[in-house]
Each structure stands twice: as C-alpha cells, then as structure tokens.
C-alpha cells in the first residue's frame, strides 16, 4: 500500500493546510479554543484589546462567553466574510498537503501533537458505537444544529478538536521527535495570555508520512475493541461535522463521496500517555440556587461529592425542574471556588480523573457523561492556528 492507502486503513488522510502569511503576527492570530473561559468574558475582552485590527482567529470564531451578549451578534455574523477576506488578501493561504507535528509548552511540560484529518465515515458518537473513532462523553444532540449551520456557512475549518491515541510505548511521537530533530520549523512562537509556547514542523515527504501511517497501523492492531481514536476535546464540533457530512453525502456522486472535503475533519492527535498531558476533572458551578436546599434535594455533600457519572444525571433532572437556575462547567479549581463564593452560587469540585483507564472504560461501558474531564487547564488547551478549506 502507498502512504494514502495506509492512512485510509486507519481512518486518516492528509489535509491541505491553510496557514497565516509571513506578515501575520502568529502570537495575535492564534487564540485559545472558543469554549474556554466561558464564565470569564473579560478574558476575551483582553484578547480583543491585544489583537486589535490584526488578522486573528478571534474574528474567525465565536467565544462561548459572548454567546448571550446581544452586542456581540455582529461579531458572529461577520465570521464567514472575515474568512473570505483573509483568503482574498493573502492573510491565509494553502501551503500544501501534509501533517504538522507540534510541541506545545504547557504548565505541565511539553506536549506532542500531530495535525491530520480523520475520516468521518469511521466515526460514530452514538452510545454503543464500535467504530474506529469514538466519543468519550455523551453528545448533547440539541447543541449540534447551530454548529452544523456554522460549518455549512464558512469556507474554512479551524478545529480545536484533540483526539487521543493509546500509545504506551510512545512509538509515534517518539519517532517524530527524532525525525524533526534537525528540521526547520514551520512556526515557533509564544502564545498570548501567558499560555506557553508553540513550535511545529510541516511534514510532507512520502517517507515520513508513510512512517506515520505504519505506526498508526501498528496501534490499530493493538486497539482494544477496535477503538484506535478517542475524542478528548471538541466532541460536539466533530459530531456537527459528522451530521453535516451525513446530510450532504446523499447528493454526491461516487467520486465525490471518496474525496469531498466535508467527509473529513482536521484534528490534533495526542498520545493519552504523554507525560505532559494532564487530565483534570471539570468542576460544576450551580448558579441562582439555594446551596443548602439543592444539596438536600439531591442528597449529596458538595464538599465530598459522589462520582460525576452518578451526580450529573441527578443535576440534569433537578435543573430541568428549576429553570431559574443554571450550570457552568469550570476547568480550574480555584476559579470555580471563587465563583462558588458568590451569593446564590454553589461550586462542586472533584479531585482527579484517572486518564489511564479512559479507553478501557469507554470500550467496556460506553460514553461518559458530558464534560467529564479536561485535558489540562484552560491555558493549556489547543490554540487555533492550522486551517483547511471545507468547500
């Protein structure tokens, strides 16, 4: 098999990378994933001040912290036209077909990642799925339509999706470390807001790409229950891409079905056993509640909560009958505790999430409740940078 055939056998493919021009300041272009700092709109206001009028991924996505702010509607509406303008004026351009191997300096060390495409035909987010690519957490289907609509309306994909592989021997990333040791990087810069450093190498040679495919084939042979990839971050974005593809493919010819850009989604592959990949529990913040009453109603102690898998269904049921109350999913323990100290709020904190059991748990029991874990603290999340045309 040639390289592309081997990649297809592991549900992967080569993206045509769209990247900022040399005139772009990457430290202003690259922003953290839109679902971060959702309870801190001031973070995004600081980003806006920092970026100013420079080309930036901030103008190509909608921070979730702004979704309920009516004054930000124009920002959201302008996203497709901003993408078109960046393509037209050369701020963004295709640099070729290949993958990007990256080093991300975080608060817990240097994490490795590999940007490539995954085949949505090999992915199913529904509970009980036995596909090669699987969700780890429950997908809330009610959250998909708005994401599908956004994907239909934009010319570019700019994913924050991080997908896990279970490579205990570190065969793939270790090989890429050796391969890029003397290679000039595509990018090498400091991220904004004290979020670490990002360095990446563009891989496009047949030999290096074929070696990557070989490592993935070896991992597929070892995969428990046939699950080679588990979604770490961005599950709803990937699910929206899947549903968009399902709706589109009925109108395509056989040739179009094989190669249509909507069949694929660009992601970053990360090794579950990377020493720098810290798994954090995602804490819950209940708002506009009587803290003592909700604990009595549900029979738990927020200071020593039961497992999230047990508590979340009870929270969902309680919130459904108390529409005046709300819930936020907070990635940082300190931030959640601070917000929980405000009148009418209740913070629910968990100590840890055992990452080594993830693949086995999903293979045995199916998906976890939504937002069960976070791969690192908010500053360590994926930053937008690589793009791809999707129409």
Based on the fold, state whether residues 220 and 290 are members of the same structural domain.
no
The chain-wide mean pLDDT, for the chain, equals 94
Residue-level pLDDT at 323: 95
User: How many folded domains does the chain comprise?
Assistant: 2
* pLDDT digit string, tens, across residues 224-274: 899 999 999 999 999 999 999 999 998 999 988 988 999 999 999 999 999
Q: Which two tokens stand for residue 295?
A: 């604990």
- How do the residues of the chain divide into helix, strand and coil, expressed in percent and rounded to 5? 40, 25, 35
Q: In the structure, what pLDDT confidence band is assigned to residue 378 with cuts at 50, 70 and 90?
A: confident
Range of the domain at 293: 281-374
Based on the fold, state whether residues 189 and 329 are members of the same structural domain.
no
Q: Provide mean pLDDT across the span 40-56.
A: 97
Q: How far is CA 221 from the centre of its chain?
A: 26
**Residue 364 above 90 pLDDT?**
no
- 95 is a domain residue: no
Based on the fold, state whether residues 354 and 259 are members of the same structural domain.
no
**Residue 376 above 90 pLDDT?**
no
- 369 is a domain residue: yes
- 310 is a domain residue: yes
Q: In the structure, what pLDDT confidence band is assigned to residue 26 with cuts at 50, 70 and 90?
A: very high
Based on the fold, state whether residues 133 and 190 are members of the same structural domain.
yes
* pLDDT digit string, tens, across residues 188-203: 999 999 999 999 999 9
Q: Provide mean pLDDT across the span 163-186.
A: 97
Residue-level pLDDT at 5: 95
Residue-level pLDDT at 331: 78
- 81 is a domain residue: no
- 140 is a domain residue: yes
* pLDDT digit string, tens, across residues 328-353: 999 789 999 999 999 999 999 998 88
Based on the fold, state whether residues 271 and 169 are members of the same structural domain.
yes
Based on the fold, state whether residues 299 and 191 are members of the same structural domain.
no
Residue-level pLDDT at 140: 87
Cα-based distances in Å from 338 to 287, 335, 349: 13, 5, 12
* pLDDT digit string, tens, across residues 90-109: 999 999 999 999 999 999 99
**Residue 374 above 90 pLDDT?**
no
Residue-level pLDDT at 357: 86
Residue-level pLDDT at 391: 87
Based on the fold, state whether residues 201 and 119 are members of the same structural domain.
yes
Global pTM value: 0.88
- 67 is a domain residue: no
Q: In the structure, what pLDDT confidence band is assigned to residue 370 with cuts at 50, 70 and 90?
A: confident
Based on the fold, state whether residues 253 and 296 are members of the same structural domain.
no
Based on the fold, state whether residues 148 and 173 are members of the same structural domain.
yes
Residue-level pLDDT at 87: 98
* Long-range pairs, 357-364, Cβ under 8 A, ≥24: 358/136, 358/164, 358/230, 358/272, 358/279, 359/164, 359/166, 359/224, 359/227, 359/230, 359/272, 360/224, 362/134, 362/136, 362/227, 362/230, 363/224, 363/225, 363/227
Residue-level pLDDT at 223: 92
**E-assigned strands of the chain?**
12-13, 16-20, 92-97, 99-106, 109-119, 123-124, 133-134, 156-157, 162-165, 187-190, 197-203, 229-233, 264-271, 279-281, 283-287, 326-330, 346-348, 373-375, 388-389
Residue-level pLDDT at 92: 98
- 56 is a domain residue: no
Based on the fold, state whether residues 315 and 382 are members of the same structural domain.
no
**Residue 327 above 90 pLDDT?**
yes
Q: In the structure, what pLDDT confidence band is assigned to residue 65 with cuts at 50, 70 and 90?
A: very high
Q: Provide mean pLDDT across the span 165-170.
A: 96
**Residue 128 above 90 pLDDT?**
no
- 321 is a domain residue: yes
Based on the fold, state whether residues 266 and 307 are members of the same structural domain.
no
Based on the fold, state whether residues 7 and 150 are members of the same structural domain.
yes
**E-assigned strands of 2-80?**
12-13, 16-20
* HEC assignment per residue over 120-156: HHHEECCCCCCCCEECCECCCHHHHHHHHHHHHHCCE
**Residue 207 above 90 pLDDT?**
yes
């Amino acid at each position: 098999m040639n390289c592309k055939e081997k990649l297809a056998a592991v549900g992967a493919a080569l993206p045509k990378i769209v990247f900022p021009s040399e005139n772009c300041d990457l430290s202003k272009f690259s922003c953290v994933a839109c679902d971060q700092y959702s309870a801190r709109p001031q973070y995004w206001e600081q980003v806006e001040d920092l970026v100013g009028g420079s080309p930036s991924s901030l103008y190509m996505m909608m921070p979730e912290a702004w979704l309920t702010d009516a004054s930000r509607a124009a920002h959201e509406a302008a996203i497709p036209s901003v993408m078109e303008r960046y393509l037209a004026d050369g701020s963004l351009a295709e640099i070729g077909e290949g993958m990007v191997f990256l080093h991300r300096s975080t608060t817990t060390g240097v994490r490795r990642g590999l940007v490539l495409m995954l085949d949505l035909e090999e992915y199913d987010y529904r509970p009980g799925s036995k596909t090669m690519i699987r969700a780890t957490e429950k997908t809330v289907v009610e959250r998909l339509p708005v994401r599908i609509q956004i994907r239909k309306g934009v010319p570019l994909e700019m994913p924050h999706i991080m997908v896990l592989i279970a490579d205990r021997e570190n065969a793939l990333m270790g090989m890429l470390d050796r391969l890029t040791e003397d290679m000039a990087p595509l990018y090498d810069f400091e991220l904004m807001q004290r979020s670490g450093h990002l360095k990446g190498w563009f891989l496009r040679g047949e030999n290096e790409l074929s070696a990557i495919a070989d490592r993935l084939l070896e991992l597929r042979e070892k995969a428990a229950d046939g699950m080679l990839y588990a979604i770490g971050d961005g599950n709803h974005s990937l699910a929206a891409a899947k549903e968009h593809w399902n709706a589109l493919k009925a109108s395509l010819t056989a040739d179009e079905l094989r190669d249509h850009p909507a069949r694929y989604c660009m992601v970053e592959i990360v090794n579950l056993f990377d020493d720098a990949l810290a798994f954090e529990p995602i804490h819950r913040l209940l708002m506009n509640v009587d803290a003592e009453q909700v604990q009595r109603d549900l029979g738990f102690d927020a200071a020593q909560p039961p497992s999230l898998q047990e508590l979340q269904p009870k929270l969902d049921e309680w919130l459904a009958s108390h529409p005046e109350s709300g819930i936020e999913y907070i990635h940082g323990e300190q931030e959640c505790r601070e917000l929980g100290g405000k009148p009418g709020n209740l913070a629910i904190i968990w100590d840890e999430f055992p990452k080594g059991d993830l693949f086995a748990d999903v293979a045995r029991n199916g998906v976890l409740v939504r937002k069960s874990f976070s791969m690192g603290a908010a500053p360590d999340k994926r930053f937008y940078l690589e793009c791809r045309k999707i129409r």
